[in-house]
Structure 1
Amino acid sequence: MYPDLFKGLGLKTKDLSNYDAPLVGFNGRMVTPDGQILLPVNTEGKEVMVNFIVVSSFSPYMAIRGRPWNHAMRVVPSTLHVKVNFYNDHDVTVEPPKGKGTDSAKDLIKVSILPYENRCFYIGTSMKYKDRVNILLLLVQNLEIFAWSPYYVPGVDPEFITHKLNVDPMFPPKKQKLRRSAKQYVEVMKQEVERLKLAGVIKEVYFPKWLSNTMVVKKKNGKWRVCVDFTDLN
């Protein structure tokens, strides 16, 4: 179990029991677990007690279910089809993948939101017409909850998401020497910095411990992306 799910369930460190054995991640690095916790997992009405090992590491997943849960639920996972097969007394039922997978909609209809030029929704053509209309009505009635750009999300709580650099704290940080940018990039950088400052994503510091130069990269749509050079942090 990873931190997002652990915090989302409202669990605390005091709820964990000891787990001394280290784990080896997919990248080959050794990770020391924070502990373990026994929780009920309910799937289609069948509840199984699962022992989760909690680790404070970044992962795109919330948790990884292992063989004990698979055996208890009598399921057959398929990484090729991105599905899980459930055996019952009469037949085999299939759980579709969560998010992107083989059943994701391929043919989409673009629905523009007037009078905005850059705001739109994409609806799958495989949906029934009535369902499409109902979903669009729901989306249009709740336009204010959508963030159409990162600049529309000022002051994100660090408890929700935090970007960290994977650097060794045993080595002192470095300050890169200033690299002069071409004139065509300078204005792009200034605009991006101002937008990020207004959104509360970055702030100005006068005595930095480390300093990295920015780079400008052209995107496929012809616009510019401002990046930070993290190749020489410490």
Structure 2
Amino acid sequence: MAVKVQQVDLTRDVDLVFTKGDLLDVIPHDNDSIVISLVTIGRKVHRVLVDQGSSADVIFWLTFNKLQLSPYQLRPYTGCLYGFAGDQVQVRGHIELRTTFTDGTTSRTTSIRYLAVNAPSAYNILLGRPALNRIRVVASTRHMKMKLPSLEGTVITIKSHQKKAKKCYENSLKTKRGVFVVTTQPPREEGITRAEIAREKRPEPVEDVVEREIGGKRFKLGKSLSQESQDQVVEVIARHLNAFAWSASDMLGIDPNFLCHRLIMDPQVRPVRQRR
């Protein structure tokens, strides 16, 4: 007779609250990610991204090998993972690893099922919603911390390694390595995956065109249009010529909150003027 063992959550309910005191040791930042360290199979692993946008807990293949884990320990994974651009990510399998979270005073150990993903990344492990929800993590990017309850009913506060977070972000830009969202379903946009959008060709004229100069600007009109229709189109364009933008200087009055490029700079670093 088969007996099904049901896991019981012994975690006590604790209020996880962030206060002004949690901001005292935070270096001013511009939307940094939360990057922590954890312990698994007796070894400390750095560069662990706390990603509430991921639907899976991931250990990257390079990290898997560095931990001297064997591919024979992997169990088959029949699902599919998709990256941010909608491309499918290769999954070698999944593995259960005992994982410890500690703030130096209190710790909590739990078993997490990681998907072993063969993809380049600036991180070693990606903690997604399955693990975060199961151990009741509350993360705050403003306070650069995550908090979780211990089995004894106390609060474990784990600080983000801000310098490592910046370094990971810089490395991902230099090497084009993955800072990507992992989902179990392909991301869709208006019913179409982003990968399908990326493969779409830009619109091109389906017929020969004729160039007409309107208000000092050149437009292309379909050659199949009659001369009368062309003249009507030209008249409409000429009346609304100010609706077209030919350069950034033509787009005045746009609220910078709509789209604004921001440079991530450490205010503690002394600025240096480059030589000309």
TM-score, normalised with respect to structure 1: 0.40
Greater radius of gyration (CA): 2
TM-score, normalised with respect to structure 2: 0.34
Structure number with higher relative contact order (C-alpha < 8 Å, ≥ 6 residues apart): 2
* Higher strand residue share: 2
